Amino acid sequence: MSNDLLPGVKTPAKNDQIISYYALRILIGATGMLLPFLLLIGNLIANQTLHIEFSVSDYYDNGTAGDILVGVLFVLGFFLMAYKGFDRIDSITANLGCVFALGVALCPTTSSNQVVHILHFVFAMLLFSTFIFFSIYLFRKSDPHKKCSPQKNKRNVIYLTCGIIMIAAIASIVVSIFWLEKASKEYHLVFWFESLALISFGFSWITKAEFLFLKDEEQNGH
C-alpha cells in the first residue's frame, strides 16, 4: 500500500532502519530459496553423500546440514522480526512469522517427545500459512486512490501464482504423507514439495523487492 496513506511515515528509500525494506525483502526471499540447496550441499560436504532426507525438517539430526537448518530458520525469524512493512498488519504478520520460524527450529520433527513432534508440524503449518498470506493478500494490496502501474499488475500475478503454488505444495505434502507413503519415501516427495514451497515463498519476496525486474519508476511500497 502506498505510503501516502500513512502520514508521518518515512518512505523505504529514506527510512532510518539499519536494513532497508527492500534489502530485507531480498534477504528473506533468498534465505527461503537457498535453504533446500544449502542442506544438500552441507550434507555432501560433511558426509560425502547426496542422500535426500524424507523432508527438509528431517535434516535436523544430520550433522552440518542440521546446523544449517536451525541457523537458517533463526536468521529467517530475525529477518522477519526486523521487517515492519507499511501497515500494522504487515508488522504483526512478520512478527508472527518470526515466532513460527523459531518454533520450527526449536521443536524438531525428529524429537522422541510426541508433544514436540506435533508442535513442529503446527509451527511449520502456521509458518507456511504466514508466507501464503503475505503473497496472496499483503503483497497484492495497493493504494485505492492510485492506478496500479503495469509493473505492479505483473508483480501481483507473480504473488498470486507463488501463493497458489505454496498452497498446492502443502496440499501435496499432506497427500504424500497420508496416501502415498511408499512413493514419498522412495522419491522424497515431501522434501521436493517443501522445497517448491520455499522457492515460491522466496521468489515472491524477491519480486516484492523489485529486484532486477518489474521495478516501478518510482518505488512506492505496496
The pLDDT, as a whole number, for residue 216 is 67
**Does the residue 221 lie in any domain?**
no
**Does the residue 215 lie in any domain?**
no
The pLDDT, as a whole number, for residue 143 is 76
**Does the residue 216 lie in any domain?**
no
Tell me the pLDDT of the chain (222 aa) as tens digits: 433 333 444 444 444 455 677 888 999 999 999 999 999 999 999 888 889 999 999 999 888 999 999 999 999 999 999 998 778 999 999 999 999 999 999 999 989 999 999 999 999 999 999 999 999 999 999 877 778 888 889 999 999 999 999 999 999 999 999 999 899 999 999 999 999 999 999 999 999 988 766 676 654 445
Nearest to 73 by CA among 40, 100, 112, 42: 100
Task: Count the alpha carbons within 13 Å of 71 in the hemisphere toward its beta carbon.
Answer: 11
The pLDDT, as a whole number, for residue 214 is 66
d(CA 171, CA 78) in angstroms, rounded, equals 28
**Does the residue 219 lie in any domain?**
no
Residue numbers of the domain that contains 50: 11-208
> Exposed, middle or buried by CB within 10 Å (0-12, 13-18, 19+), for 180?
middle
Cell triple for residue 48? 560425502
d(CA 40, CA 35) in angstroms, rounded, equals 9
**Does the residue 28 lie in any domain?**
yes
The pLDDT, as a whole number, for residue 205 is 95
* DSSP string of 3-26, one letter each residue: GGGSTTPPPGGG---SS-HHHHHH
**Does the residue 134 lie in any domain?**
yes
Count of C-beta atoms within a 10 Å radius of residue 59: 29
Model confidence, pTM: 0.86
The angle that helices 21-47 and 189-208 make with each other, rounded to 10 degrees, is 150
The pLDDT, as a whole number, for residue 18 is 53
The total number of structural domains in the chain stands at 1
Cβ–Cβ < 8 Å for 12, 83:
no
**Does the residue 46 lie in any domain?**
yes
The pLDDT, as a whole number, for residue 1 is 40
The pLDDT, as a whole number, for residue 213 is 63
The pLDDT, as a whole number, for residue 6 is 39
**Does the residue 105 lie in any domain?**
yes
65 to each of 36, 148, 164, 209, how far by Cα in Å? 10, 43, 29, 29
